[in-house]
């Protein structure tokens, strides 16, 4: 394929803007962190609903209250996952999130019964899967931020220490994707899955090992290793490599079922929200589980 300078320029500029927005959202403070993943949450939901509608036209006929209410329900779960660091005056957000989830759940169920006359199990199932696939992950990302914030000194006004675990996970995902692509391009021969024909076993295994080695090396020389051991970071990198690859395959499967190349066009040259965060969205719950089982 001939080198296309215009495509390269578009992809590079988009990547620079994307990285700047991500870093600002992650590290300025907990509010920018929450705002960043709020945008990502709703962006992923809009693309997910579009894909499901292409897979099954019946989902295109859900009510507007169902369509937007289920997104809002997932966002209230994110609000519930905040802690005492998120305050408006003397009030904390997480209590509001819990009550709003309960009330909205009852309204959503009631409107399905009243306006549809009967529960449509299939369309409800698609929405419930979306809550698990998207909202659960971004809610637990907020919880990971809280975990880091409780571990580190968060009194510094211009640096969000709570982003260290989330940022480490994101960095591991990025390294894994990059290394898998490079290794696969150089020595990849054996197809990994029919879902994603360009993936190879050589690229997947080689890239994953390089991801784990890179994170282990970084953890051994930076201050984070004094709080979280190198072993902990190796475990997080391994989860990112293994589960992140499965997340990429899951999103590829959904797109193939919907017969689309990209989930969206929000980032020129890079696709949509789900295209950018497909690995991360599946890895987050497993990292959260590891953190809460094995980290103090």
Q: Stretch 231-236: mean pLDDT, rounded?
A: 94
- The per-residue pLDDT for 5 is 56
Q: Are strands 87-88 and 91-92 parallel, antiparallel or unpaired?
A: antiparallel
- The per-residue pLDDT for 188 is 86
pLDDT at 10 over 90: no
pLDDT at 18 over 90: no
> Do 152 and 91 meet the contact criterion of CB atoms below 8 Å apart?
no
Higher pLDDT residue, 241 or 185? 241
pLDDT at 59 over 80: yes
pLDDT at 16 over 90: no
Higher pLDDT residue, 275 or 271? 275
Q: What percent of the chain has pLDDT over 90?
A: 53
| Domains of the chain by residue range | 21-294
pTM of the model: 0.90
Higher pLDDT residue, 3 or 82? 82
- The per-residue pLDDT for 3 is 39
Q: Stretch 78-103: mean pLDDT, rounded?
A: 84
pLDDT at 4 over 60: no
Name the band, by pLDDT with cuts 50, 70 and 90, for residue 269. low
Using left for φ > 0, alpha for ψ between -120 and 50, and beta otherwise, residue 92 falls in beta
242-248-252-255 Cα dihedral, nearest 10 degrees: 140
Asked which of 90-99, 152-161, 246-255, 268-277 is least confident by mean pLDDT, the reply is: 152-161
pLDDT in tens, 183-216: 988 898 898 888 888 889 999 999 999 999 999 9
């Amino acid at each position: 394929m001939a080198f296309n300078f215009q495509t390269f320029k578009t992809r590079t500029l988009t990547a620079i803007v994307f990285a700047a927005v991500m870093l600002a959202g992650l590290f300025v403070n907990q509010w920018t962190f929450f705002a960043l993943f709020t945008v990502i949450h709703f962006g992923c939901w809009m693309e997910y609903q579009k894909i499901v509608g292409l897979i099954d036209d019946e989902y295109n006929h859900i009510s507007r209250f169902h369509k937007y209410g289920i997104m809002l329900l997932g966002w209230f779960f994110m609000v519930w996952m905040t802690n005492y660091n998120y305050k408006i005056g003397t009030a904390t957000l997480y209590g509001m999130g819990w009550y709003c989830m309960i009330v909205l759940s009852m309204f959503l169920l009631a409107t399905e019964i009243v306006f549809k006359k009967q529960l449509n199990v299939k369309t409800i199932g698609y929405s419930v899967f979306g809550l698990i696939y998207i909202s659960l992950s971004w809610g637990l990302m907020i919880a990971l931020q809280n975990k880091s914030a409780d571990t580190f000194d968060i009194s510094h006004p211009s640096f969000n220490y709570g982003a260290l675990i989330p940022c480490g996970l994101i960095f591991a995902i990025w390294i894994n994707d990059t290394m898998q692509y490079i290794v696969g391009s150089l020595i990849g021969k054996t197809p990994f899955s029919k879902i994603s024909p360009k993936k190879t076993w050589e690229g997947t295994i080689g890239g994953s090992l390089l991801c784990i080695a890179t994170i282990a090396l970084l953890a051994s020389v930076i201050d984070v290793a004094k709080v979280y051991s190198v072993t902990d970071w190796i475990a997080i990198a391994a989860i990112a490599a293994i589960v992140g690859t499965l997340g990429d395959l899951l999103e590829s499967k959904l797109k193939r079922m919907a017969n689309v190349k990209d989930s969206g066009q929000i980032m020129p040259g890079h696709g949509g929200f789900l295209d950018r965060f497909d690995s991360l969205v599946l890895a987050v719950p497993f990292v959260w589980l590891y953190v809460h089982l094995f980290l103090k």
